[in-house]
Amino acid sequence: ALHGSARYSSAASYINNHDRIASPINTKYFIDNQFVDSKTTEWIDLHDPATNNLVTRVPQSTDEELKAAVDSAAKAFPGWKATSLLARQQVMFRFVALIRENWDRLAASITLEQGKTFADAKGDVLRGLQVAETSCGITTQLTGEVLEVAKDMETRSYREPLGIVSAICPFNFPAMIPLWCIPLATVTGNCLILKPSERDPGAAMILAELAKEAGLPEGVLNIVHGAAKTVNFIIDEPRIKAISFVGSDKAGKYIYTRGSEQGKRVQANLGAKNHACIMPDANRNATVNALVGAAFGAAGQRCMALSAIVLVGEAQEWLSDVVEQAKRLKVNAGFEEGADLGPVISKHSKERIESLVQSAVDDGATLLLDGRGYKPEKYPNGNFIAPTIISNVKPHMKCYTEEIFGPVLVCMNVDTFEDAVDLINANKYGNGVAIFTNSGATAARFQRDIEAGQVGINTPIPGGNYFYGKSGLNFYTQLKTVTSLWRSSDAISTKASTAMPT
């Protein structure tokens, strides 16, 4: 067993199987660059999804602890804002190097707490690392503009930090999503209060340790824990200027509405039902492989998971190939060699997914592949569901109107391309959509007519997210414009003018 700070201390000391936790230790919170034991009486048990063994207990941070995190950030902000951009950039360079050094350790924490396979967990870390790498280019990304408005007069624009900002994270990408926020929020001069998912905060805690080691001053990144109570604190605390949220529709709508009401800037990425339109002229083999990987990878617990396919005309015959490929996937605990997909996050989630599959059967859909009740030999107590494929799904069915967020693919048949576009556009969810076709003209029509923010053409997970890159930088900064007039004295008029100059 790994105890106390040892758990966060050495790159080599990571857990790499499902039996290493002998005596679970409580997760600490992170304030002023220290890991601190919570004084709470409310603890959230965190179980390894592959075994349901207790891994750690996560505190519901107390009111005092939450307030202390904001006090710490408030104290740190003036100094951090005044720190030169080059110095902040240097911290990011070191942060990037440390994430690379600790890549396996971060991934192992994800596999243990979240359940995804070790190989997939490494991808989770990499996607976040890339945001940290991008933030190193801040010196060319944060440049302002100058406009000469009139003789002797110019308007300059700057991007300034907001102050104290916050991030509320979901369980499905324990490293990537905290890393959508940590680098961009801090390199732009803000202080960040981060709340990881209470279901898997381990990777965020390692990231905090690495940020400290990289030279982030105390108070610039603080980590608090808990569920809705912590979120409500963040919404109501007036010193927190912005909330970055990623998670389900239900929590997201609540946070967006209440946060905006409090005058906060809120960015929110919510739930999804990502569709793929399969045209019969596509490359059958490549399409089937892409569909199966995107539907069942990470046990379907990706916001960009492909969860609904719309088969046009003769492409409907390809379903048998999809089923065959899906059957070949190996369902096992995430540290096991050769595992293609691991368990889902919790017992409750497994039950929810299984009941949605049952609802499809009850609604008259066809269950082509039933992964319910699957148990890997060594892991009889895990939250496993094998790939499940439901066909003849109709738009009114619950398995279609709800996000399933598990290894379940729903399949619908239509006669024409136009029918496919209408069907997809009628669904209330984003995030992304894909088309598989060999026709450039069909792809071009699809790209134009489809109403989704992220479109893939012959690629199933068209992740082009808005939280990083330019829109992320804009979110964490506010525009300040300075208009100045430096006129030689002989031009000054003797009488004041009250009219707007025309």
Q: Going residue by residue from 388 to 407, which x/- string records binding to ligand NAD, judged by CB under 6 A?
A: ---------------x-x--
Exposed, middle or buried by CB within 10 Å (0-12, 13-18, 19+), for 349?
Answer: buried
For ligand NAD, which residue has the nearest CB? 247
- Give the three-state DSSP class for 46: strand
The C-alpha angle 217, 177, 59, rounded to 5 degrees, equals 70
CB of 194 to ligand NAD, least distance (A): 10
Least distance to ligand NAD from the beta carbon of 235, Å? Answer: 8
Contact flag: residue 44 with ligand NAD (CB under 6 A): no
DSSP helix/strand/coil, 285? helix
User: Is residue 269 within the footprint of ligand NAD (CB under 6 A)?
Assistant: yes
The tokens 């995107």 sit on which residue? 294
CB of 272 to ligand NAD, least distance (A): 5
Q: How far apart are the first and last CA of the chain?
A: 76
189 vs 196 by CB, closer to ligand NAD: 196
Active site residue 399: no
Instruction: Calculate the alpha carbon distances from 3 to 6, 167, 178, 209 in Å.
Output: 6, 27, 24, 15
Taking CB under 6 A as the criterion, the residue among 2, 11, 142, 227 binding ligand NAD is: 227
Among 231, 288, 309, 322, binds ligand NAD (CB under 6 A): 231
AA identity, residue 55: V
Question: Rounded distance, CA 241 to CA 234, Å?
Answer: 10
Closer to ligand NAD at the Cβ: 161 or 271?
271
SS (H, E, C) 445-499: HHHHHCCCCEEEECCCCCCCCCCCHHHHHHHCEEEEEEEEECCCHHHCCCCCCCC
Q: Is 92 helix (H, G, I), strand (E, B) or coil?
A: helix
Q: Which stretch binds ligand NAD (CB under 6 A): 140-148, 183-191, 243-251, 443-451?
A: 243-251
Rg (Cα) of the chain, in Å, rounded? 25
Minimum CB–partner distance for residue 201 and ligand NAD (Å): 9
Q: DSSP for 173-233?
A: -TTHHHHHHHHHHHHTT-EEEEE--TT--HHHHHHHHHHHHHTPPTTSEEE---SHHHHHH
Residue 348 in the binding site for ligand NAD (CB under 6 A): no
Interface of this chain with ligand NAD, residues 409 to 468, rule: CB under 6 A? 431, 465
CB of 116 to ligand NAD, least distance (A): 13
Shortest approach of ligand NAD to residue 20 CB, angstroms?
A: 25
Q: Which of 354, 168, 149 is nearest to 267 (CA)?
A: 168
Q: Of residues 171, 446, 468, 476, which one binds ligand NAD by CB under 6 A?
A: 171
User: Does 182 interact with ligand NAD (rule: CB under 6 A)?
Assistant: no
- Which of 93, 103, 158, 254 contacts ligand NAD by CB under 6 A? 254
Q: Which stretch binds ligand NAD (CB under 6 A): 31-39, 98-106, 192-200, 450-458?
A: 192-200
Choose which of 49, 247, 297, 334 interacts with ligand NAD (CB under 6 A): 247
What's 28's DSSP letter?
Answer: P
- Catalytic option among 169, 181, 191, 303: 303
CA 274/CA 60 separation, integer angstroms: 33
What whole-number distance in Å separates Cα of residue 63 and Cα of residue 234?
Answer: 11
Q: Which of 162, 168, 322, 389 binds ligand NAD (CB under 6 A)?
A: 168
Are 461 and 431 in contact, with CB atoms under 8 Å apart? no
59 binds ligand NAD (CB under 6 A): no
Q: In this structure, what token pair is assigned to residue 149?
A: 């408005």
Shortest distance, position 491 Cβ to ligand NAD, whole Å: 55
Q: Which stretch binds ligand NAD (CB under 6 A): 62-70, 152-160, 241-249, 330-338?
A: 241-249
Among 184, 193, 242, 272, binds ligand NAD (CB under 6 A): 272
Alpha carbon distance 163, 167 (integer Å)? 13
Tell which one of 51, 72, 102, 172 touches ligand NAD (CB under 6 A): 172
Figure out which of the listed residues 170, 219, 371, 376 binds ligand NAD, where binding follows CB under 6 A: 170
| Residues with catalytic roles | 303
| Site of interaction with ligand NAD (CB under 6 A) | 168-173, 195, 197-198, 227-228, 231, 246-248, 251, 254, 269-272, 303, 403, 405, 431, 465
